[in-house]
Structure 1
Amino acid sequence: MNLSLQDPFSVAKEYPEGLTHTLQYGHSVILQFTDRGDYLASGLADGSIIIYDMISSAPIVHLDTGCHVRPITSLNWSSCGRYLLSSSQDWYVKLWDFSKVNNSEEDPVIRQVKFDGPIWGASLHPDDPYVFVASLFDDSPVHVDMHEEVAKVTRLTTTPLENQDALGEDVDMDDDEPKKTKRKDRHMTLVTTFTPNDGGYIFTGTSKGWVNIFETKTLTIKRSIKIANSNIKHLVISSNGRKLAVNSSDRIIRQVNLPDLINISDANDWEFEIDHKYQDVVNRLQWNSMSYNHNGEFLVASTYGQSSHDLYVWETSMGSLIKILEGANEELIDVKWNYSRCTIGSIGLDSGAIYLWSVVFPQKWSALAPDFVEIEENIEYIEGEDEFDIIDDNELTKKRLEEEDFNVDVVNGDLVDARGFDIRRKGFIIPIAYE
């Protein structure tokens, strides 16, 4: 409601326009917003985690006891905002329960899994915080179920389906793959992610430019698509599940329109079409990271290189560049989009500071008083002939009754906010130790 009062036309502003805040607490290397946008998790280079309150822009929790001992590589919030999954270069993946953060008698780490090497990144299941997939350094990707105390780890194949059919290999068995192929010819999975909303499928990107799609229930590979001829560094799926952005080492971000995977039973009928390619043809810049907004209409990416300190924002329907966000004086690495607050967060490579770009809403007093007129300078006021005439009481009463015919619901709250987000879903509130 307050948003619409500030500017009734601000709903159309779906991307930030200027740098508004800079957060500095340690050297941050990764960040992640909650689904409701109330909190920001920042992973530091020393392995600890900082939680910021987005209303006050102040740190409220510092997870340093029992945390990682090497830089954080990925952070994932559960949909409710109570659980946080963290992965690190120290070979550990940990699941945090924030209801136990300020309780000295309970350990906030409720699950942890140790692998045989560093973790490139992990992705949490959108509906089940005890399930995640991870890409490992020099190893096959894994699907992990942590419902039991002893986690169930299932390895996923990294060889594309077409190559498996040609070699006559078993789709589900990938243990002997390093022995059968030379190192330079091996496919290594660098990134993994679940499809949003239901998590029915797992998308993985390989070092040879292939995207493999697995069914989550059976953990079998359903489809493989050749996207590029170089490493796939990032895979980002829009929250509505309709667009896929693929960031590869060839300096091109490819946008792929995703079919309805649930309603099409035969994987051979899935059509993956490259809709747009985003690149800087002049400077030939690499892209560090990227993120969609809430409906996939805009895509933001950070650039690689000491001379580039900007964020590029594209409009995805036409593929046109609409905004370059400036303000940071250093190279930016990780970038995330806060859907609810229309805020983009990114991290400076050298300082580890978190930069926040937001929409600046100008005050519109006419939204509060319809007869209010903003003027740039004083003007001479000329009163009308009937301005001070006596108005008939019956006419005034009739007009007032007509205005009161509008029924205002003062019992039930609004279902959505000014931007159309559902506000009925309650998010988890992290307890704070004020002492």
Structure 2
Amino acid sequence: MRRREHESLTAGPVCPSTRSPRYTCRKLECVFSLGHPSIARLLTIKLGSGHAACIRFNRSGDLLASGRLDGTIVIFDIETNGVARKLRGHTRQDWKCVLWDLQDGSRLRTIRFTAPVFIAELHPNTHLKFVAALFDDQPILVDATEELVVKRNFQSAPKRSQLDMDEATEKILAQDAKQTTTVTTFSPSGDYIIAGTNKGWLNIIETASCQTMFSTHMAGGVITLLRFAPGGRQIVVNSSDRIIRTVHFPDLTGKNVDFGNFRLENDHKYQDIVNRLLWNHVAFSATAEYLVASIHMNHHVYVWETAHNSLNTILEGPTEELSAVEWHPYKPFLAAVGIDSGEVHLWSVIAPQKWSALAPDFAEVEENEEYIEREDEFDVVASEELTKRILRQEDEDIDVLTIDPVKGYGDHQEGGFKMPVLLHQDDEDSEDEIEAIGAGQYRRKSPGRGRDRNTANEATHQNGRR
């Protein structure tokens, strides 16, 4: 059963290792052609709906979901930049995951855990299975197909060979037992779970049996992010050792995978050699030709070419540090979250106007030219001929119900889910009454603050009308 797009999974708590910024949305378009290094910036619009803690595009890229600090999930429509849906299922770090049905905004399942949730991700083929990494606890594979939810734990300790087990000391075995999983994701086929631990180990777990099939020491610190490339043959690993690694991933779709000869090889490593700063977030481009990352204590967004391991461009957006950064699944379109202001900045390619697309004989000119018309170019057509044309057009059947896919946007739209629009959307945002008073410090605005000014303005306006 293939996962339906109208299901989404939300987790209550925010990862304790990440900062909790205040979020609104702003569109900051940056012209960066994928094959051209020139950059131009244009601030166009600001969207606001509470204080989000994370962002993520859906599969088709027409929706952008942001999770607010008060537990509300706000879904933005990328085409209109408006709020398409609000999902209210969390109130705080309530240690639970909620499976939502975006068709009507209802809750399909609510699963509670015994610890905060680092991250949770849906199975790629069935929407009623997901894996969750818990804080200071073993990760869990959840099957919510039936009303009685089935939870299956799997180990965070790495799998060692018999030779390593014979040579391992009690100290090493004790350290393995204390390892915790900090991030999890499914393989593209969903047959395996890829998990990263707080000791830098990468484990491959079989989904059917929850048994660890392969382990390798990947990083020298906590693994904070795992993300597959769209093709599924590359995975990016971000860790606290200040190095981003892209790893070539073998094919795991076969039934008889030989894990005895299984190897994971690093393709490239990306790091800030000068300042040695941490990378906040990493994402692949739509074609996996580029890798984008945000950096700690910096407002730049770095874009590398994965084929040449070279820095392609640096996007300079707002004057604040950026945390989460996501790339649109089908377009050269970026979304990054500012930590201080909590705004979501969007970069996109602004296509130049091509007048030749209106008519083949259109041509661009550098300066005005005097046009010499043909003899019969602007002749008035007889009214009888116009009447015949109108009558012929009236007999044609016009289809106003079929929605044709956008040309050049991809075949992923055919038969895809389209979230219905709710006309009576609740626009009340209680978190909009919170203001920043310092670095990482917030307070709720006074109830009477701003009302006196509004009252005075209203009275002045009424006196002026009199």
Shorter-chain TM band: 0.7 to 0.9
Counterpart position of 1:121: 119
The secondary structure found in structure 2 opposite 1:335 is strand
RMSD: 3.2
Do structure 1's residue 98 and structure 2's residue 78 form an aligned pair? Answer: no
Counterpart position of 1:400: none
Do structure 1's residue 349 and structure 2's residue 339 form an aligned pair? Answer: yes
- Are the structure 2 counterparts of residues 11 and 315 from structure 1 closer, same or farther at C-alpha, using a change threshold of 3 Å? closer
Find the partner of 1:147 among 145, 148, 154: 145
Give how far 1:132 is off.
0.5
Q: Which runs of 5+ in 1 are unaligned?
A: 1-9, 71-88, 102-107, 169-176, 390-409
Hey, what's the Cα distance between the residues in 1 that align with 2:408 and 2:269? 32
Give how far 1:291 is off.
0.9
Do structure 1's residue 68 and structure 2's residue 90 form an aligned pair? Answer: yes
Find the partner of 2:416 among 411, 426, 430: 426
Amino acid at match of 1:97: D
Amino acid at match of 1:131: K
The secondary structure found in structure 1 opposite 2:263 is coil
* Identity level (%): 42
Tell me if structure 2 keeps the 8 A contact 1:131–1:145.
yes
The secondary structure found in structure 1 opposite 2:160 is helix
Find the partner of 1:272 among 252, 264, 274: 264
Tell me if structure 2 keeps the 8 A contact 1:132–1:143.
yes
Tell me if structure 2 keeps the 8 A contact 1:141–1:155.
yes
Hey, what's the Cα distance between the residues in 1 that align with 2:136 and 2:302? 32
The secondary structure found in structure 2 opposite 1:247 is strand
Do structure 1's residue 48 and structure 2's residue 65 form an aligned pair? Answer: no
Counterpart position of 1:4: none
Amino acid at match of 1:301: A
Hey, what's the Cα distance between the residues in 1 that align with 2:160 and 2:406? 46
The secondary structure found in structure 2 opposite 1:181 is helix
- Are the structure 2 counterparts of residues 231 and 270 from structure 1 closer, same or farther at C-alpha, using a change threshold of 3 Å? same
Tell me if structure 2 keeps the 8 A contact 1:297–1:316.
yes
Tell me if structure 1 keeps the 8 A contact 2:37–2:313.
no
Tell me if structure 2 keeps the 8 A contact 1:120–1:190.
yes
Q: Which runs of 5+ in 2 are unaligned?
A: 1-32, 377-397, 426-466
Counterpart position of 2:351: 361
Hey, what's the Cα distance between the residues in 2 that align with 1:429 and 1:15? 36
Hey, what's the Cα distance between the residues in 2 that align with 1:16 and 1:142? 44
Residues 107-164 of structure 1: per-residue CA shift (max 9 Å, x gap)? x122111111111011110111110111100011111111122211111111111178
Counterpart position of 2:52: 28
Give how far 1:181 is off.
2.3
Hey, what's the Cα distance between the residues in 2 that align with 1:193 and 1:347? 22
Find the partner of 1:58 among 82, 100, 103: 82
Residues 56-78 of structure 1: per-residue CA shift (max 9 Å, x gap)? 101122223xx1122xxxxxxxx
- Are the structure 2 counterparts of residues 18 and 143 from structure 1 closer, same or farther at C-alpha, using a change threshold of 3 Å? farther
Amino acid at match of 2:62: D
Do structure 1's residue 37 and structure 2's residue 35 form an aligned pair? Answer: no
- Are the structure 2 counterparts of residues 13 and 240 from structure 1 closer, same or farther at C-alpha, using a change threshold of 3 Å? farther
Give how far 1:361 is off.
0.9
Amino acid at match of 1:333: S
Amino acid at match of 2:352: P
Hey, what's the Cα distance between the residues in 1 that align with 2:49 and 2:37? 28
- Are the structure 2 counterparts of residues 423 and 14 from structure 1 closer, same or farther at C-alpha, using a change threshold of 3 Å? farther
Hey, what's the Cα distance between the residues in 1 that align with 2:248 and 2:125? 23
Do structure 1's residue 258 and structure 2's residue 249 form an aligned pair? Answer: yes
Amino acid at match of 1:252: I
- Are the structure 2 counterparts of residues 419 and 52 from structure 1 closer, same or farther at C-alpha, using a change threshold of 3 Å? closer
Amino acid at match of 1:285: L
Do structure 1's residue 313 and structure 2's residue 309 form an aligned pair? Answer: no
Tell me if structure 1 keeps the 8 A contact 2:84–2:421.
no
- Are the structure 2 counterparts of residues 304 and 291 from structure 1 closer, same or farther at C-alpha, using a change threshold of 3 Å? same
Give how far 1:167 is off.
4.4
Amino acid at match of 2:98: K
Hey, what's the Cα distance between the residues in 1 that align with 2:132 and 2:246? 23
Amino acid at match of 1:98: L
Tell me if structure 1 keeps the 8 A contact 2:37–2:312.
no
Mean CA deviation greater in 146-155 or 361-370 = 361-370
- Are the structure 2 counterparts of residues 232 and 63 from structure 1 closer, same or farther at C-alpha, using a change threshold of 3 Å? same
Hey, what's the Cα distance between the residues in 2 that align with 1:17 and 1:151? 51
Amino acid at match of 1:61: R
Tell me if structure 1 keeps the 8 A contact 2:182–2:198.
yes
Hey, what's the Cα distance between the residues in 1 that align with 2:253 and 2:74? 37
Give how far 1:12 is off.
6.6
Q: Structure 1: which 4+ aligned runs deviate by more than 6 Å?
A: 10-17, 380-383, 410-416
- Are the structure 2 counterparts of residues 112 and 425 from structure 1 closer, same or farther at C-alpha, using a change threshold of 3 Å? same
Do structure 1's residue 331 and structure 2's residue 321 form an aligned pair? Answer: yes
Q: How many residues of Structure 1 are paired with residues of Structure 2 in the alignment?
A: 366
Tell me if structure 2 keeps the 8 A contact 1:16–1:359.
no
Amino acid at match of 2:351: F
Give how far 1:423 is off.
3.2
Counterpart position of 1:138: 136
Amino acid at match of 2:180: M
Residues 279-325 of structure 1: per-residue CA shift (max 9 Å, x gap)? 121222211111112221111111111xx111111111111111211
Hey, what's the Cα distance between the residues in 1 that align with 2:279 and 2:245? 12
Give how far 1:186 is off.
2.3
Give how far 1:209 is off.
1.0
